[in-house]
Amino acid sequence: MTSICVRFAPSPTGRLHVGNGRVALVNWLFARSNKGKFILRHDDTDIDRSGEKYIKEIEESLTWLGTKWDSCFRQSERHQLYEEAVNRLKSTGYLYPCYETPEELSLKRKAQLSVGKPPVYDRSALTLTDEEREKLENEGHRPHWRFRLDSSRSIWSDLIHGEMSLDPATMSDPVLIREDGSPLYTLTSVVDDADLGITHIIRGDDHLSNTAIQIQLFNSLDKPVPTFGHLALLVGSKGESLSKRLGSISLDSFREEGMEPIALSTVLAGLGCSKPVQIVKNIDQLISSFNISDFGLAPAKFDSNSVKIMNGKILQIISYGDVRERLDNLASSEISENFWNAIRSNINSFNEVQGWIDIVFGPLDPVIDQPELSNIAADLLPSDPWNDDTWAAWTGLVAKETGATGKKLFHPLRLALTAREDGPAMKNLLPLIGPERADARLRGKKA
């Protein structure tokens, strides 16, 4: 059985947004669930827009997400392969030179549309004689090169769409070589996929028409045709398309907000699937539950809030051992397991942990809502040791002494001890705050 090999091929012209992040993740999960390989290929042939900065950002984002690649390539370093493929396609008659300007092509399309015909290239360049081509080139016209599609339908069995076919008669012969001699994506992608042994190509369904052309390209180069799978496009919460230029939905933005990578991965892996999204602690659980056949055809709406909600749920099940090193990096002294267990159900991102470290260990400016009650409560503080029974025993004494009950008792005590109106259960926080800080805060002192 042939080992599965997939690739993710971003153009390094901007930050990696969640739409492309989802494609990368699905490819990676498909590979790992089938014990296959995942290749990262930077499609960086657009010299004017591609940048080393974006390559680094893309790789950092993918690493953070957990989608580590087995090997990495850059198209800018593979020009010899493209030249060899171009020469072969020219010699076999699949590539032919065309000399129309963009303005001339635009006029042709308008003329076709005006009489109800599809705006498909008329192949007029094929009727040019050698003398006519020579004359055009002597006049300074440089050709672009089109790939001649054959008349047979392109048929494939899509991993997600099922049986698919497209009629080449509805498409123009695609331009594969620009006037300056540089190859376009349609060609370079096929050459790379063939050279790298890509067995499955999983991408957005905006590439469906490209697939019909690329199948013919694989055949013209006598290369095996990979299996294709086309994911329904990810759209925003209002149905809008996702752009890499919308930094608010880039992978980096979730990283900067303190989201757990597994929270974003869980949401992205579940969007567009028929089964409900499951809460998982690590990416190995995502791999074991992944099935490409779970994806449907309808566009999946992505809402940033869903990641935040999932993040909060995942933090509630993450153990102290899993975050101990991260906690220690936030404070000068070791953060206990009791602290993590106390606050994890009250945070939606790890960035919020620092706030609770400040609240528990101070110094904190207390909020004294009921001075008399706070002073009496300070006088009644029990001696060490404190545990999770201390809060109930202590507030019972304060209630008996002051007559305050319910919110009139608990609210001013919480304000004095934490300067917050809400948060984790005070029975868990009080032992962490400790007698010395508790006494000072209740008496209105910064501690």
| Token pair in block for residue 377 | 């409560």
Tell me the mean pLDDT in the region 254-274. Answer: 92
Q: Are 63 and 283 in contact (CB under 8 A)?
A: no
Q: How far apart are CA 101 and CA 103, in angstroms?
A: 5
Whole-Å CA distances, 296 to 188, 304, 342, 425: 29, 21, 40, 43
The CATH 3.90.800.10 portion of the chain extends over: 81-177
Radius of gyration of the chain, Cα coordinates, nearest whole angstrom: 31
320-447 CATH fold: Arc Repressor Mutant, subunit A (1.10.10)
- The residue among 238 and 44 whose pLDDT is bigger is 44
Q: Which residues contact 121 (CB under 8 A, 6 or more apart)?
A: 105, 108, 146, 172, 173
| Token pair in block for residue 440 | 């000072």
- The residue among 46 and 260 whose pLDDT is bigger is 260
pLDDT in tens, 284-326: 999 999 999 999 998 888 888 999 999 999 999 999 999 999 9
Tell me the mean pLDDT in the region 369-396. Answer: 94
Q: How far apart are CA 11 and CA 4, in angstroms?
A: 23
Confidence of residue 246 (pLDDT cuts 50, 70, 90): very low
Q: Which residues contact 367 (CB under 8 A, 6 or more apart)?
A: 415, 416, 419
pLDDT in tens, 62-76: 999 999 999 999 999
At residue 22, what are phi and psi to the nearest 5 degrees? -65, -45
81-177 CATH fold: Glutamyl-tRNA Synthetase; domain 3 (3.90.800)
The CATH 1.10.10.350 portion of the chain extends over: 320-447
Please determine, for residue 247, whether its predicted confidence score (pLDDT) is greater than 70.
no
pLDDT in tens, 111-135: 989 988 889 999 999 999 999 999 9
Please determine, for residue 170, whether its predicted confidence score (pLDDT) is greater than 90.
no
Q: Are 8 and 22 in contact (CB under 8 A)?
A: no
Q: Above pLDDT 90, what percent of the chain?
A: 75
Q: How far apart are CA 185 and CA 11, in angstroms?
A: 10
> What was the pLDDT predicted at 48?
66
Please determine, for residue 422, whether its predicted confidence score (pLDDT) is greater than 90.
yes
Q: Are 59 and 52 in contact (CB under 8 A)?
A: no
Q: Are 296 and 272 in contact (CB under 8 A)?
A: yes
Among candidates 271, 299, 349, which has minimal Cα distance to 29?
Answer: 271
- The per-residue DSSP string of 119-138 comes to -----GGGG--HHHHHHHHH
Q: How far apart are CA 447 and CA 444, in angstroms?
A: 9
Please determine, for residue 52, whether its predicted confidence score (pLDDT) is greater than 50.
yes
User: What is the CATH architecture assignment of 1-73+185-318?
Assistant: 3-Layer(aba) Sandwich (3.40)
Among candidates 246, 447, 242, 266, which has minimal Cα distance to 360?
Answer: 447
Q: Which residues contact 415 (CB under 8 A, 6 or more apart)?
A: 366, 367, 368, 369, 421
Please determine, for residue 426, whether its predicted confidence score (pLDDT) is greater than 70.
yes
Q: Is the peptide bond before 363 cis (omega within 30 degrees of 0)?
A: yes
The CATH 3.40.50.620 portion of the chain extends over: 1-73+185-318
Q: Above pLDDT 70, what percent of the chain?
A: 98
- The per-residue DSSP string of 370-401 comes to -HHHHHHHHHTPPPSP--TTHHHHHHHHHHHH
Amino acid occupying residue 289: S
Q: Are 155 and 165 in contact (CB under 8 A)?
A: yes
Query: How many CB atoms lie under 10 A from the CB of residue 290?
Result: 18
**pTM reported for the whole predicted model:** 0.88
